[in-house]
């Protein structure tokens, strides 16, 4: 018995959610899978020469080309008459920012590849810089707080909706808090022919500044307060896959993390308002696209 396809012995931080994300991706995908992995925490902790935590074929590629390399792998397999799951795993920096053009090219050419971004809302591996996935108001080393700035002045890029708009056959959001949700969505995506995209929320103990044992709790809070919405978009139809109870307030979620500790009540109130209007928008999209 080999155990997990992503082995223990990697060098991730205590409490890192990303390794659980990968374990659950591979539980769903199985051994007939080829991984193209962008430079990120997931690569640094899993493939330090001469060791590897990967028990499936794996290639580490430059930050900006994970989707381009996966496209080439898929095209080569097709030419040889072979079929394996081809999956990209990349962080938010490698997806929302630096790998965006190669991801968009992959979707444009219609490759049969599943692109998965684990979203820890910053460039974690290089010491916590802001990415275009960093939420509004969050501290990072490049969005500090002081006289000039009060955390990240921008908001999150709507990458999943952008991928749906560009024509991905299957788009979903998921979270490290719900391993079966990850597995179901990965299985569903792999059954669809063409480009597909999954965005998985993954709290980072180091960057978000909370105790390592709280990763799953924080991830659940994000969903329950409405700041992280779980949904699928298939053939242009959006379906919310988990409805929050709203027993957690946005303020509870923000106050549980050091990266938001500088926010005033007024700033937190604005984030609450934005969460409420986003939730309304998703509910509206669910109704109108189902029609
Ligand atoms: C073109 C390029 N720019 C910058 C870097 C330096 N770099 C390596 S990993 C990394 C951070 C990756 O962030 P993200 O994709 O969000 O993944 P995470 O580290 O959070 O897992 C950076 C900036 C690089 N390797 N290549």
What's the pLDDT score for residue 1?
43
Q: What angle do CA 5, 104, 79 make, to 5 degrees?
A: 65
The per-residue pLDDT for 2 is 67
Instruction: Please give the C-alpha separations between residue 233 and each of 53, 99, 167, 185, 275, in angstroms, as whole numbers.
Output: 32, 22, 10, 11, 20
Residues of the chain with pLDDT under 50: 1
121 lines ligand 1 (CB under 6 A): no
| Closest C-alpha residue for ligand 1 atom 3 | 63
Cβ–ligand 1 contact at 91 (below 6 Å): yes
Q: Is the CB of 46 under 6 A from ligand 1?
A: no
Nearest CA to ligand 1 atom 20: 124
Q: Which of 45, 60, 93 to mutate to test the pocket of ligand 1 (most atoms within 8 A of CB)?
A: 93
Q: Which CATH code fits 18-290? A: 3.40.50.970
For residue 50, is the peptide bond before it cis, meaning its omega torsion is within 30 degrees of 0?
yes
Which ligand 1 atom is at minimum distance from the Cα of 92? 16
Please choose, from the candidates 87, 92, 40, the residue with its C-alpha nearest in 3D space to the C-alpha of residue 62: 40
Q: Is 124 in the pocket of ligand 1 (CB under 6 A)?
A: yes
Q: Is 164 exposed, middle or buried (0-12, 13-18, 19+ CB in 10 A)?
A: buried
User: What residues does each domain of the chain span?
Assistant: 18-290
Q: Is 224 in the pocket of ligand 1 (CB under 6 A)?
A: no
- What phi and psi, each to the nearest 5 degrees, are found at residue 196? -140, 155
Of 12, 39, 43, 65, the residue with max ligand 1 atoms within 8 A of its CB, to mutate for a pocket test, comes to: 39
Residue nearest to atom 2 of ligand 1 (CA): 63
In whole angstroms, what is the distance from residue 163 CA to residue 143 CA?
Answer: 27
Q: Is 123 in the pocket of ligand 1 (CB under 6 A)?
A: yes
């Amino acid at each position: 018995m080999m155990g997990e396809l992503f082995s223990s012995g990697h060098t991730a931080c205590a409490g890192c959610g990303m390794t659980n994300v990968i374990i659950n991706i591979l539980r769903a995908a199985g051994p007939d899978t080829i991984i193209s992995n962008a430079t990120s925490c997931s690569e640094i902790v899993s493939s330090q020469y001469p060791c590897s935590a990967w028990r499936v074929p794996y290639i580490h590629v430059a930050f900006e080309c994970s989707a381009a390399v996966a496209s080439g792998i898929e095209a080569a397999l097709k030419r040889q008459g072979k079929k394996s799951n081809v999956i990209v795993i990349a962080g938010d920096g490698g997806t929302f920012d630096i790998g965006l053009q190669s991801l968009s090219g992959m979707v444009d050419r219609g490759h049969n590849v599943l692109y998965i971004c684990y979203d820890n809302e910053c460039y974690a591996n290089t010491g916590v810089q802001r990415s275009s996935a960093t939420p509004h108001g969050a501290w990072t080393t490049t969005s500090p707080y002081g006289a000039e700035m009060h955390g990240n002045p921008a908001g999150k890029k709507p990458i999943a909706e952008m991928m749906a708009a560009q024509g991905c056959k299957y788009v979903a959001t998921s979270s490290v808090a719900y391993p079966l949700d990850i597995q179901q969505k990965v299985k569903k995506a792999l059954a669809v022919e063409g480009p597909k995209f999954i965005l998985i929320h993954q709290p980072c103990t180091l960057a978000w500044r909370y105790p390592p044992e709280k990763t799953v709790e924080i991830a659940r809070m994000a969903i329950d307060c409405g700041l992280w919405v779980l949904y699928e978009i298939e053939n242009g139809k959006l379906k919310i896959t988990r409805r929050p109870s709203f027993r957690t307030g946005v303020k509870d979620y923000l106050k549980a993390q050091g990266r938001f500790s500088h926010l005033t009540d007024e700033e937190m109130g604005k984030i609450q308002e934005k969460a409420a209007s986003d939730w309304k928008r998703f509910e509206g999209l669910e109704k109108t696209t189902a029609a």
